[in-house]
Copies of this chain bind each other. A is one copy, B any other.
C-alpha cells in the first residue's frame, strides 16, 4: 500500500503507491503559474490552464459544465487520460499502462509523487516501463517521458508495439478536427470554442484553441479518430490494435484522440526512451517552439531542474524533527508545498473568495512574505470606503465574481487582522501598516491600518440591537445562507470572530507599538467584551454555545434541535475570543468529545442534517456527513486544535491533529477512506510560528492552523 519514503535529499521526498486497485481515486498533482494537472494513479488526468479563466485541452466525451474545482471527482471509462497500450507482437498479448483502460494485472506497479514530478515504475511481460510527467516553470505543457526496456535474458529479438493514447475528447460542436502534421511530427487537433455573442468572438481571438501531442521520435503510424480507433472493441480492447499498424485516420468534425504507434525491436537488455509534449496551443509555430525548447535529453534535464527550483521555492521557513517520520515529512514538505500552491496560483482562479485569498496568503507568510504583503494590499485596494470587503478579489482585468462569490457573506473583514498578525509575527515588517492604499469605490487613499480599522468598524456596525453580528447569506460557513437572508439572523461564530479580530488588532498595536489613538483601541477592547457578553447572554445553551439566531428569532445549534445540535466553530472561537470561562471551556470540551469526536477526527456539527431547514439553509441540504454538513471538516478541526493549544490543552489538541493526519501505514486497514483523508489533509495550510517550535512533537506550539480543502 502507500508508503511514504523520507530520503536524505529533502527535495526527493515522495509518496508511493504500489497498487492501482485498492485506492482507485488516489491522485497527485503538479502546477505552475498557468496550469494544474491532477494525475490519477490509474492514468486518468484532470488538467486545466488559465486564459484568463480556467480552460481545458483534454476534454470529456460530452459537453462538460464549467464549474469550480470539486473536492470529489468521478472517473469513468472515457474520462480524459494518458494511456500507453503495449503489444507484444510475438506473444500476441496486449496490456496498458499505467493501468487503464485495459486494467490488466501488472507484475509490478508503483505510482510515485515527488514534489515536482509524478512517475510510474511498471513491470509486465518481461518489460520494464517507466512513465513520468512533469511540467515546466513557464509554459502550458505536460512533459511526458516513457522508457520501455526488455528484461528478457534470452530468446532473441522481441517485436513490441507501443501506442501512447492521449485523450483530446469532445472539443466543440462548432468545429473540431485532428490530423497528423508530418512537419511537426505531431497530432494537432483544432477547434473553435462555441459562442454566440459577437463580443465573445473578440474575447476568444487569442485563445489557444488547438490541442497537440508531439513526440521526439517519428511514429510508425498514427490515429486521431477516437470512435474509429476504438471500434466495437471498446477502449479496453480497441479494434485498431487488432491490426499490425494503425490506419492514419483523420478526425473530421469527429471526436479527436492522439494515438501514435511505435513498432520496435528489442534485443537483450535493449530499450528505448521517448519524450512527448501535450497541451494547448494557439498555432503550429507555438508547438514547434515548445518542441525545440524541451526535446533532447539535456534540455529535458534542464527544464526539470528549472521546475524543481521553482517548486523548491515553496519550502517553508521551518522544519520539525519529531521522530515521527511521516508527521515530519508532512509538516516539512507536503504542507508547505500545499501552502505554496495556494499562495502561488490562488487555486487557478481569477476571483478567489476574499476569505480564502487572505488565508492562502497567510500561509505564504512562511514561504515568501513579500507575496503575502502584496496580496494583503491588493485585497484592501478592493475594499469599499464603507469598510466592507468584496466577496472575491479580482486578480485579472477580465475577471468577474462567479459561483459562491455572488452571494453576500459577512465574515471577510474578520480575517484581515488575524492574518496580519501572522505576517507581522513572521516578518516584523510594520512598514506595511503605513502603506497608502486606495478603494474600490474611491480614489482617495488611506493607510493599511486605517483600512483595517474601517473593516473593524464595518463589522461593529453590522450588528443588531443585541450586539450580535448579522450573518446575511453566510459567514465562514458558506452554505449557511438562510439564517439571516432577510436581514435579521445573527451568527454566534461571526460575533466571536469579530471579538477575536478586535482583540487581535489591539494586541498587534500593543506588541508592535503601532501608533493608534488609545481611545480607539480601548473602544475596540470594550466592543470585544460587549460582544462576548452578548454571545453569553443570548447564545450560551447549557453546555455549549449555539450557532446563531435565525431571521425567525430561533436559537439553533442546541439540545432542542434533533439535527445540528452542536456546532464546533462557536466553541473553538469562544475560547479564542475569551467569551468562554474556564468552566464553560471544560463543559464545551466534554460535549465536543462526546458528540463530535470520531476515530477519524472531530466533526463540524452533529447530528448531520437529513432534510432542509428553511431558516438555516443550504448546509442542511448537503448530503449527511459531507463537507459542512457534519463531516470531519479539517479547517474547523484545526480551529479547534488551535483553540485548545491556547488554553494549554496540548494532549487534546495533538490528538485532534493526529486523527486527521493518520500514519500512512494505517491506510491499509481503514482503506481508501483514510487515504482520501490524507489526500484532503494534504490540502491543509498549517502555519507554525517558528520561534516557539520545540522538538517534542506533542508540545509543538501551533500558532495557527488554517485548513483549506482544495
Contacts and interface: CB of A to CB of B under 8 A. Distances in A.
Contacts of A625: 253
A21 to B, nearest CB: 6
Interface stretch (A71-79, A292-300, A310-318, A507-515): A71-79
Interface string A625-656: 11000000000000000000000000000000
Interface stretch (A167-175, A301-309, A444-452, A591-599): A167-175
A130 interface: no
A253 B72 CA distance: 10
Contacts of A403: 196
Contacts of A70: 63, 173
A480 to B, nearest CB: 12
A520 B406 CA distance: 54
B78 A76 contact: yes
A56 B509 CA distance: 57
A623 B406 CA distance: 36
A515 to B, nearest CB: 43
A621 interface: yes
B175 A623 contact: yes
A554 to B, nearest CB: 18
A242 B263 CA distance: 37
A175 B626 contact: yes
A627 to B, nearest CB: 9
Interface in A52-108: 60-67, 70, 72, 74, 76-79, 103
Interface in A21-67: 21, 60-67
B65 A626 contact: no
A201 B482 contact: yes
Contacts of A78: 76-78
Contacts of A485: 198
A101 to B, nearest CB: 8
Contacts of A66: 65
A196 B407 contact: yes
A236 interface: yes
A234 B77 contact: yes
B621 A198 contact: no
B103 A74 contact: no
Copies of this chain in the oligomer: 2
A195 B621 CA distance: 11
Given A65-B64, A192-B621, A618-B201, A173 B234 contact: no
Contacts of A170: 74
A676 interface: no
A440 interface: no
Nearest to A629: B175
A169 to B, nearest CB: 9
A341 to B, nearest CB: 22
Interface in A150-204: 170, 173-177, 192, 195-198, 201
A482 B618 CA distance: 44
Given A60-B62, A65-B66, A76-B62, A103 B232 contact: yes
Contacts of A255: 74
A678 to B, nearest CB: 19
A67 B66 CA distance: 12
Contact of A64 (B63, B196, B234, B252): B63
A491 interface: no
Contact of A623 (B64, B177, B618): B177
B196 A622 contact: no
A232 B21 contact: yes
A621 B63 contact: no
A98 to B, nearest CB: 14
A521 B175 CA distance: 46
Contacts of A67: 63
A432 interface: no
A461 interface: no
Nearest to A70: B173
A253 B623 CA distance: 7
Contacts of A482: 198, 201
A62 B407 CA distance: 25
A680 B21 CA distance: 44
Contacts of A175: 621-623, 626
A498 interface: no
A25 B623 CA distance: 37
Contact of A196 (B21, B60, B177, B404): B404
Contacts of A79: 61-62
Given A74-B170, A198-B482, A234-B77, A623 B176 contact: yes
Interface in A219-258: 232, 234-236, 252-253, 255
Contact of A72 (B173, B481, B617, B623): B173
Nearest to A102: B234
A341 B330 CA distance: 62
B61 A76 contact: yes
A473 interface: yes
Given A62-B79, A192-B622, 20 more contacts: A21-B232, A61-B76, A62-B74, A63-B65, A63-B70, A74-B170, A74-B255, A77-B234, A103-B232, A175-B626, A176-B623, A196-B406, A196-B407, A196-B618, A197-B407, A198-B407, A201-B482, A201-B618, A252-B623, A253-B623
23 contacts: A60-B62, A61-B74, A61-B79, A62-B62, A63-B64, A64-B65, A72-B253, A74-B255, A76-B78, A77-B78, A78-B78, A174-B622, A174-B623, A175-B622, A175-B623, A196-B406, A196-B407, A196-B481, A197-B407, A198-B485, A201-B617, A236-B236, A253-B626
